[in-house]
Every structure is written in structure tokens, then in C-alpha cells.
């Protein structure tokens, strides 16, 4: 059975994430302490206790999700010796976790990069007036027509019947109405700081490119599916380029999962807070085995399902 590790993206953060894992397992506690030391501020306190307005800030949410996702992976591999990923993938921010898990960058470098990425994206949000909306029950082709007609862009192609659009805040209401007119079951504005995965994020790109140039990148040990292409990443140079492109390009998540399914993957393990990726996968392929690790209870359940003693 071919196993893929999947890593959560921004929006999955919740106050208290990782707290019970850190309390129960020395490995997790050590990672938490290491992350706080690397970043020079109490990231874990924000993740465990809030306040919510601090955790939802992009510059905190991204490293916090990365940290909890990494801890979930490490603890599962402790509980199930010999468990390894045959491929990895991650949604937006989660792509960095997926690359680190595949040996492209160290845990430490990945943490620093996602903190910087979060800061760059936060500043891009503050410099623009952007918004996003979820379009439910409308296929990609008519959603593209909506985008072209209203001057917004596709941001996330998550699963059948769920697409997210992004663009200037003033254009979002018209896009919502146009989507409903095309037959969308629902079209709802999202509570976000800005227009992620749209051209409004361009100011973050050169800064992220410089950040990536400052760390060594290796070739992945296993295939890592790129958000931008929905195909396996190539050389370290190509990886860096695609991570920069990803800031303004749509996340092709459904295609990424279908790429893995076509390669014979039948077991997927979502690692990190929330179960959004599990939900997407069940809508993409109901026959696939999907497990997740977000806390002690789900760690126990997944370890048991994988046959751990």
C-alpha cells in the first residue's frame, strides 16, 4: 500500500492545537521548545492559549501550523516504527511542511521560512484591499468565466464542488452574485486578511525568493506534489521557483490528489490541525483510506488503524 503524508494549510489553526501532544510526549515538548528558541518568541504559547487575534495573524498561524504538523508526523512515526511516506503534499503553507518532510529543507530552516513567508504575506495584505470567497457547487469552467467577467482569480481548486476565488475586495460581491447566477449552490465571502493566491500578493514574492536563496535546498527523498503544477517537484532550483510562484497562483489541490491516485496511492494521512484535507479527499475519491493526526485521540486511533502495538 502506497502512503502519502498530507499537510494542512492556513485556516486550520485553532487555539489549543498541539497542546495535548506537547503535554503527553517528550518529543513534542522538545520540538515546541526548539521552535520558540529558533523564532525568539513564544509561538507555542500563542498556539496553546491564544489570543485568537494573535494566532490568526498570518505570521503566527503559518509557523504554528507547520510546527504542529511536524510534531504530528514525528509522533506517528514513533508510534508506528517503519512507517514512511512514499510521497508528500501540502496545501499552500503545507507544501513547505511536505518539502521539509521529504528532506528538501531542515525542520529549522522550514520554520524560519514559513515565519518569514507569513510576515511577507501579512504585509502584502495590509498594503492592498483584498478578499476571498468560497464557491460551492459550481464546476471549474463556469467559475473561471465568473473570474474573467468580474476581475478576480481562482485561488484554490480544493475538491469537486468547492473552489475559492480571490481578488480586490470591491470585486468580490459581484463575483459572488455572478457565481450564483451561474448556478452555484452557495457563494460566501471568507473572513481572511487579504487576497491570498492572487496578484495582490506579488510584493511578497521577491522577499520570499531572497529568503529561499538563503537556505540550502536538497532534492526530495520522495515525490512532493507542487501546488502550482499538480505534479512532482523537480530540482532544488525549480522548487524555489514554484514556491515563489505559489504565492500568486492557484492551489491545484484536487489535481494534486488525483496525481497521487493515478500513481497508485490508496492511503493518505493528514498531519496537523483540523481535518479539511480529509474532507476534500473523501469528495475526490470515496474509496481511498484517509487517516489523520491532530491530537492525542487521533494519534491513538491512527496508530491503531496502522497496526501499531
CATH number at residue 168: 3.30.70.250
Q: Report the predicted TM-score, pTM, of the whole model to 2 decimal places.
A: 0.97
CATH of the domain at 107: 3.40.366.10
Per the domain annotation, does 194 fall within a domain?
no
Q: How is the chain split among helix, strand and coil, in percent rounded to 5?
A: 55, 15, 30
Report the residue count for the chain.
Answer: 309
What does each C-alpha distance from 143 to 162, 195, 198, 294 come to in angstroms? 10, 17, 15, 33
Residues 15/49, Cβ–Cβ less than 8 Å:
yes
Q: Write down the residue that cell numbers 521577491 correspond to.
A: 206
What b/e sequence results for 103-138 when a residue is b if at least 16 CB atoms lie within 10 Å of its CB, and e otherwise? ebbebebbbbbbbbbbbbbbbbbeebebbbbbbeeb
Of 152, 171, 189, the residue at which a domain comes to its end is 189
Cell of 36: 520558540
pLDDT value of residue 264: 97
| pLDDT, tens digit (0-9, with 9 covering 90-100), for 35-76 | 999 999 999 999 999 999 999 999 999 999 999 999 999 999
Tell me which of 197, 198, 233, 256 is the catalytic residue: 197
Query: Do 18 and 84 have their domain in common?
Result: yes
Residues 205, 224 within the same domain: yes
Is the same domain home to 25 and 62?
Answer: yes
Residues 235 and 285 in one domain: yes
Q: Return the SS3 of 187.
A: strand
Catalytic residue (one of 12, 44, 69, 92): 92
Same domain, 119 and 144: no
Exposure string of 38-50, with b = 16+ CB inside 10 Å and e = fewer, is bbeeebbebbbee
**65 and 214 assigned to the same domain:** yes
For residue 279, being part of any structural domain is answered with yes
Q: Is the same domain home to 298 and 182?
A: no
Shared domain for 122 and 133, answered yes or no, is no
Contact between residue 2 and residue 222 where contact means Cβ atoms under 8 Å apart: no
Residues 115 and 22 occupy one common structural domain? yes
Across the chain, mean pLDDT equals 97
Same domain, 280 and 216: yes
120 and 56 fall within a common domain: yes
49, part of any domain: yes
From 189, 213, 241, give the residue that closes a domain: 189
Q: Does residue 90 fall inside a structural domain?
A: yes
Q: Which of 140, 158, 189 is the last residue of a domain?
A: 189
- Please give the tally of structural domains in the chain: 2
Residue 92 annotated in active site: yes
Measured distance CA(124)–CA(126) in Å, rounded: 5
Specify if 84 maps to a domain.
yes
The answer to whether residue 222 sits within a structural domain is: yes
Known catalytic membership, residue 214: no
pLDDT value of residue 191? 86
pLDDT of 309 reads 53
Q: Which residues of the chain have pLDDT under 50?
A: none
The domain containing residue 138 runs over which residues? 129-189
Looking at the fold, whether 224 and 87 belong to one and the same domain comes out as yes
Amino acid at each position: 500500500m502506497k502512503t502519502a503524508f498530507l499537510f494542512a494549510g492556513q485556516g486550520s489553526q485553532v487555539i489549543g492545537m498541539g497542546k495535548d501532544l506537547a503535554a503527553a510526549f517528550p518529543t513534542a515538548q522538545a520540538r515546541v521548545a526548539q521552535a520558540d528558541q529558533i523564532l525568539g518568541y513564544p509561538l507555542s504559547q500563542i498556539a496553546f492559549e491564544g489570543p485568537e487575534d494573535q494566532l490568526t495573524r498570518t505570521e503566527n498561524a503559518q509557523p504554528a501550523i507547520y510546527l504542529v504538523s511536524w510534531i504530528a508526523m514525528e509522533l506517528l512515526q514513533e508510534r508506528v516504527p517503519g512507517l514512511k511516506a512514499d510521497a508528500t503534499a501540502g496545501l499552500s503553507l503545507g507544501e513547505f511542511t511536505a518539502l521539509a518532510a521529504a528532506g528538501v529543507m531542515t525542520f529549522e530552516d522550514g520554520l524560519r521560512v514559513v515565519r518569514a513567508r507569513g510576515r511577507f504575506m501579512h504585509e502584502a495584505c495590509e498594503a492592498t484591499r483584498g478578499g476571498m470567497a468560497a464557491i460551492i457547487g459550481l464546476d471549474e469552467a463556469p467559475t473561471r468565466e465568473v473570474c474573467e467577467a468580474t476581475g478576480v482569480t481562482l485561488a484554490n481548486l480544493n475538491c469537486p464542488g468547492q473552489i475559492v476565488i480571490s481578488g480586490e475586495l470591491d470585486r468580490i460581491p459581484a463575483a459572488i452574485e455572478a457565481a450564483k447566477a451561474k448556478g452555484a449552490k452557495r457563494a460566501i465571502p471568507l473572513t481572511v486578511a487579504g487576497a491570498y493566491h492572487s496578484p495582490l500578493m506579488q510584493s511578497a514574492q521577491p522577499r520570499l525568493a531572497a529568503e529561499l536563496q538563503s537556505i540550502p535546498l536538497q532534492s526530495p527523498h520522495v515525490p512532493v506534489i507542487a501546488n502550482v503544477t499538480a505534479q512532482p517537484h523537480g530540482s532544488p532550483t525549480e522548487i524555489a521557483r514554484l514556491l515563489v510562484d505559489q504565492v500568486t497562483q492557484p492551489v491545484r489541490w484536487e489535481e494534486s490528489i488525483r496525481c497521487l491516485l493515478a500513481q497508485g496511492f490508496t492511503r493518505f494521512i493528514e498531519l496537523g490541525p483540523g481535518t479539511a484535507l480529509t474532507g476534500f479527499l473523501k469528495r475526490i475519491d470515496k474509496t481511498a483510506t484517509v487517516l489523520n493526526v491532530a491530537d492525542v485521540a487521533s494519534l491513538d486511533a491512527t496508530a491503531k488503524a496502522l497496526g501499531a502495538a
